Amino acid sequence: MTDIVRETNSRDADQTRAADAHRRIEAHRRCLPLTARPRGRSLASSIVASRRHSSDRCAVTNVFDVGDAFGLMRQIEVGDGDVPAIFVAPIAELAFDRRHPIARAIADYRRRHAQAHVADRA
């Protein structure tokens, strides 16, 4: 009996997470393209390694959900030319202007996502 309850609770949690992710994706897509800059070393290193672009500014051009492991990911384009460098990065590796209307929602998402991973490990 407890297995059935656990399975039901897990399914409900998955549906809730999926609905929440869909709502966040739609809110973020309304703000695209969104200017950001690399926050983490790995993304900044990747941009420098591409050697085509020296700019630390990037434009977020798409948002999608990859599940619990990484959460919401961003597609970013670096460079203003005809062929920009395209990267995919988790939201944790991007910094956004705090004055932008979506900035608070992004900060709340980061905080919740980090707390969920800490709770899953405990």
Query: Amino acid identity, residue 96?
Result: F
Please give the pLDDT value at position 55. 61
Range of the domain at 81: 2-121
Low-confidence ranges of the chain (pLDDT < 50): 1, 5-6
Please give the pLDDT value at position 12. 77
Please give the pLDDT value at position 5. 45
Please give the pLDDT value at position 75. 95
Give, in order, the Cα–Cα distances in Å from 72 to each of 56, 63, 90. 21, 7, 6
Count of domains forming the chain? 1
Please give the pLDDT value at position 29. 93
Please give the pLDDT value at position 33. 93
